[in-house]
Chains A and B, each alone.
Chain A
């Protein structure tokens, strides 16, 4: 294209020949004669003729991005076959010890890709030391010492570093219930809140539980704000007799008048097992404690209860909602042997059948906790409040207060590093026998005396002169020599001791290397971490990639061959055959692929072969259309006509003449089928129809979707791989098309 600036008006006055240097002399010596004696026309061309493929390759090489894509593709292909063979980690079985290890490449402590996970805003258990005192530094130190995030989840305290506390966040949405379930939520002064927001308290309410004498239930309790800790859903309350109260089976709705008057309510006691009413009694404001055990005794005449379940219901007439609560209850279960499942079941019963949904009137002032003694204590932290309990089907906590902390958790340290455990007597003796450690005092078990076999009970050892030395640190699982630090403590626990020896039931604390206990030689590292089943994600992802690629190539080959045949017949013969076949493909192409896949999979089940079949059902249409167009283009050419005149059959014309000419275009168009198959497979997995028992990229991604919030690396690595393979396949395919078919260059799709 020409632009204005390309043209310039020449100045007519300027000397035109100004720049021409005319003092160049050309002599005969500057020229030499070549080929003077040869007859050029008889000589053959020396340069090698270039083939179509070589020419294409040359063009392909010029396209830098496609070359890079081809290399990446090659590496990924190679890895998808080699990694599952070379990597010896097992991805079939579940490995409990290896779950959720973070990706690790560098040494821990480097801060990046080092096997640590950063956690933000994890609820903290502050029950050990709820109110640290002292100077700010001391408070901070006490907090670091005593406040721990969920001990079940973050079991190894050595792995926690860089702890930082976020004080008292107010949770003001429906997820607060989740916090209350897993963490420790402290309810306190609720600050300013909007009118109309309901909040339900669920809290520990039974104190001084003594079953044999008096089972007291505080109908309403006055709590010091800073001492209420809630661990909903998990707590069992130990009674002196080792009875367990069922997990958080308490639900009670109580309501006060504005002037703190509480009406006496009729309460029913229900035997859950027999589902009948034992009796009714009346709560009394004057005596807010109900002696349930007494009532049960009075009503049933029984004094002992084995494996019984009772519940108390408070039924109030619903005439005046402002003064009466709707329904409430407390349920408890005392069954020493009840397993967790039963307890859960019981909770479910008590919440669904015994109590209908309580419709809390959010606009009513009566449903909120009331502050008492406010005049006296205002401005200080230990306000006193009424707490009450309510039952709704979904227990939600609004406007709760909790402590959170952020920290770094070294997952490898937690799983394989040092751990404090009580050492078993048997092990201690064994280690000495093996020669791994040397002890200065004799160790003998007193199993005959105390009837405890090979447990850590019943040591007989010289506590005062006890020293331990590790002789073979490579073999011995002990990380540090055993020291008996608190000698006085041991003496207290001892049953008796004479001059030198202490006999007794006491555990000896020791520090172990976990990886040695697990029989490993060193702490393993996982490049991409491990998933919920303890599988090495690195291997698993490449196994998935292998499945996806196999599926892609298989589908490609089948679709390509079928589409080629179909398109060839369509395009070559034309006419009615073409028309009928085209209508058929029209119909097939009209069905969305997702519908086809769904129907095939729900009819035939979900495995590798049905997947391939479902993908092949519609995959060939594109190739067929492309082949048909090419055949239309070439079938009228002169060389085809010439060949036909010489008597070539249809089959020969198709395979020997038209096909070789059109193959390049068809094949390059079809290569892009592979990434689209990988994509389709992943999508189907997301819809819940994915491959069963085989890893594929889609299956991995959809299975790990739930860990997006907690362990995003489980999604990041597979996503990177799938994005990489898609990008490089597309770039490679486009480059291939441009190279083989230069006339189509720049045209997309």
Chain B
């Protein structure tokens, strides 16, 4: 088990490394985004920091003389009597500086437009709390609800309860999330005016802040509840028709005993890992929800950084989405092994 776990983790680490490398080269081969700031000292400080970190080189020249550089520089700043010409270093050099900076200083790059001069990690850290809080609440709400509905549907298989739940699940899983969010805002915020139509600003009252959670949590939960209901129902139906359950009943267990002790426990083998993965997933924001509801989370940051464009922040955001995805994958696979030692996900069959 230990060997298997280590192998999986190392593999995921290598995968993440390769993906991040690929992303780095793809992003850096785009035309570099200049830093936008009104104060030229900020710009100067930014580029000097870039030079220090190894992403830029600088040529100084007296500003009084007219001097046209042979190669167009990335940017130029005049401070006092000196004009500074900044050039980007070759991508491969930047790449090694980047890795070096991450390993030694945990410096993932500096923002150029979203918050000029601020560290990208810092910006991400600022945006995480809203995303995580909304996601955590939605997981807490949706998991029990989904499992409950799934069990209900599974136990009452082929009755009207099951048909109703299954139909609703089918409908809601098919409707895209942005449609759901749009109509929730239209209905609850504009029509009934119960809930605010956008995320609460920091200076607003606690009650407004709490109210602002309803629509995001509901819209995130819809898909999640439907997914769990369907999953649990399918698993439970499979277990209910198995032979060991028949044996359990034959040897004298009541129906409830058989369901709780045998059916549910076995049905939960594949369900628990997915719940764990869901908890890892709280670090990845929903871009659609966050941009529609104006939540200052990392999903909206992705769009902001993309449209700015601020590629350094975008890069870190992409890294987060990738890492969260991979991490969720590992947690699922490993927890399978812990729950049911016979299962080795991803191993050669």
Chain A interfacial positions (CB closer than 8 Å to B) = 1-3, 586-587, 590-592, 594-595, 598-599, 602-603, 632, 675, 679, 682-683, 686-689, 701, 705, 708-709, 712, 715, 719, 722-723, 726-727, 729-731, 746-748
Contacts and interface: CB of A to CB of B under 8 A. Distances in A.
Contacts of A748: 230-231, 234
Given A594-B287, A708-B182, A746 B238 contact: yes
B322 A705 contact: no
Contacts of A731: 170
A406 to B, nearest CB: 14
Contacts of A701: 178-179, 182
Chain B interface size, under 10 / 10 to 19 / 20 to 34 / 35 or more: 35 or more
Q: Sorted from nearest, which 10 A-B pairs have the closest CB atoms?
A: A726-B174, A727-B174, A719-B179, A723-B175, A592-B321, A748-B234, A595-B318, A590-B15, A599-B26, A730-B174
B245 interface: yes
Contacts of B30: 602-603
A686 B178 contact: yes
A592 B23 CA distance: 11
B171 interface: yes
B16 A590 contact: yes
Interface in B277-324: 287-288, 291-292, 302-303, 306-307, 309, 314, 318, 321-322
A1 B174 CA distance: 34
B181 to A, nearest CB: 10
B326 interface: yes
A587 B113 CA distance: 31
Contacts of B140: none
Contact of A592 (B18, B238, B249, B322): B322
B249 A599 contact: no
Given A599-B23, A708-B182, A722-B179, A686 B288 contact: yes
B65 to A, nearest CB: 33
Given A592-B321, A712-B186, A587 B15 contact: yes
State the main secondary structure of chain B at its contact with A: helix
B182 A719 contact: yes
B175 A595 contact: no
B175 A726 contact: yes
A683 B178 contact: yes
A708 B185 contact: yes
B325 A705 contact: no
A581 to B, nearest CB: 14
B27 A599 contact: yes
B304 to A, nearest CB: 10
Nearest to B185: A708
The interface centre, meaning the residue of A595, A705, A748 with most chain B CB atoms within 10 A of its CB, is A595
B249 A1 contact: yes
Contact of B18 (A587, A594, A719): A587
A594 B15 contact: no
A722 B176 contact: yes
B338 to A, nearest CB: 22
A587 B190 CA distance: 45
B306 A687 contact: yes
Nearest to B230: A748
A727 B171 contact: yes
Nearest to A704: B182
B136 interface: no
Given A587-B18, A708-B186, A592 B325 contact: yes
Interface of B: 11, 15-16, 18-19, 22-23, 26-27, 29-30, 170-171, 173-176, 178-179, 182-183, 185-186, 190, 230-231, 234, 237-238, 240-241, 245-246, 249-250, 255, 287-288, 291-292, 302-303, 306-307, 309, 314, 318, 321-322, 325-326, 329, 349
A76 B35 CA distance: 49
Contacts of A730: 170, 173-174
A586 B22 CA distance: 14
Given A587-B19, A683-B176, A688-B307, 11 more contacts: A587-B18, A590-B322, A592-B318, A592-B322, A598-B306, A687-B288, A687-B302, A712-B186, A722-B179, A727-B170, A746-B238
Contacts of B173: 730
A727 B255 contact: no
A590 B19 contact: yes
A701 B181 CA distance: 12
Contacts, number: 118
B179 A590 contact: no
Given A595-B321, A599-B26, A723-B179, A1 B288 contact: no
B176 A682 contact: yes
The interface centre, meaning the residue of A686, A688, A731 with most chain B CB atoms within 10 A of its CB, is A686
Contact of B23 (A595, A632, A719, A723): A595
B325 A590 contact: yes
Contacts of B185: 708
Contact of A687 (B26, B303, B325): B303
A726 B322 contact: no
Contact of B303 (A688, A715, A722, A746): A688
Contacts of B178: 682-683, 686, 701
Nearest to B178: A686
A586 B17 CA distance: 13
A1 B259 CA distance: 13
Contacts of B329: 590
Nearest to A591: B19
Given A687-B303, A746-B234, A675 B174 contact: yes
A653 B331 CA distance: 39
Nearest to B321: A592
B174 A723 contact: yes
A609 B134 CA distance: 36
A723 B172 CA distance: 9
9 contacts: A1-B246, A3-B255, A590-B325, A683-B178, A686-B178, A689-B306, A719-B183, A723-B174, A730-B173
A686 B230 CA distance: 28
Contacts of A705: 182, 292
B306 A679 contact: no
A683 B288 contact: yes
B345 to A, nearest CB: 13
A730 B230 CA distance: 14
A350 B64 CA distance: 36
A339 B16 CA distance: 58
A715 B185 CA distance: 12
A591 B23 CA distance: 9
A591 B322 contact: yes
Contacts of B245: 1
Contacts of A591: 19, 22-23, 322
A410 B322 CA distance: 52
Given A2-B249, A688-B306, A722-B179, A747 B15 contact: no
Contact of A747 (B18, B234, B288, B322): B234
Given A1-B246, A2-B250, A594-B321, A603 B26 contact: yes
A722 B288 CA distance: 16
Contacts of A1: 240-241, 245-246, 249
A686 B288 CA distance: 7
A708 B326 CA distance: 37
Contacts of A727: 170-171, 174-175
Given A587-B15, A598-B306, A746-B234, A687 B287 contact: yes
The interface centre, meaning the residue of B171, B179, B238, B246 with most chain A CB atoms within 10 A of its CB, is B179
Nearest to A708: B186
B64 to A, nearest CB: 29
A709 B171 contact: no
A590 B326 contact: yes
A595 B23 CA distance: 9
Contacts of A592: 318, 321-322, 325
B104 to A, nearest CB: 26
Contacts of B183: 715, 719
A470 B309 CA distance: 64
A205 B164 CA distance: 64
A573 to B, nearest CB: 14
A731 B314 CA distance: 37
